[in-house]
Amino acid sequence: METLNQQKTIGSMVAENYKAASIFRKYGIDFCCQGGRSLEEACREKAINHEVVAQELKSAASDGTSDSIDYRSWPLDLLADYIEKTHHRYVTDKSPEIRAYLLKINKVHGGRHPELAEIEQLFLDSSEELLQHMQKEETVIFPYIRQMVEAERKDQPLPTASFGSIEGPINMMMEEHLHEGKRLARIAELSNGYTTPADGCNTYKVAFAMVEEFEKDLHKHIHLENNILFPKSIELEDMAKS
């Protein structure tokens, strides 16, 4: 992240240096589903001094260390494979386990903590819709991205797609990302930032820790798609058609 300027979006800042994600997360700024905003706009919506956040971002960019991978340099087919094998698989594997934990703590503690019923339902709805969402990506968008990359590599024309331009299904996926981001944000709000209450048991603590990890993984998952894979795929298609 070489400079901070008014033109950069918060999504592009995270794409340049993923350490920025922890700073945005600290201030409750959505860098994945709403990554197209400027830093000033995002801070204004949260009533945060954007100069303070900008200084933290500059410090993170110049501290001489790097704990992030430059996913922007990856071939698009490799990035699609990575998202599918890492983040899609995570959602598929972890969702049933988390749902079981939330069901259990709602049964035991729901009388004293009625918010658990809403948390359980929100996560159930989210996990079910994410599975359908990922299936659409894996059967429609990702295969076409791989075909575009192969066509470019072989200097061949783009394959014909039933959906026309890839921008159409991508816009649909981004709308669904926004919906899931709001749903997970509501869970974080209801759980007071995944804080276990004084009368909560170890299962309660484990359940909240797992949902928090799920949210963080989803943030990175959506970030990689919204801020890197999708815009670069649209750019590749546009270049091939010009």
HEC letters along 59-94: HHHCCCCCCCCCHHHCCHHHHHHHHHHHHHHHHHHH
* Confidence bin at 130 (pLDDT 50/70/90): very high
User: Region 201-205: what's the mean pLDDT?
Assistant: 94
User: Region 186-204: what's the mean pLDDT?
Assistant: 95
What's the pLDDT tens digit per position in 35-49? 889 999 989 988 999
- Asked if pLDDT for residue 2 goes beyond 50, the answer is no
* Confidence bin at 196 (pLDDT 50/70/90): very high
Q: Is 38 exposed, middle or buried (0-12, 13-18, 19+ CB in 10 A)?
A: middle
User: Region 165-182: what's the mean pLDDT?
Assistant: 95
* Confidence bin at 3 (pLDDT 50/70/90): very low
Inter-axis angle of helices 142-153 and 230-241, nearest 10:
50
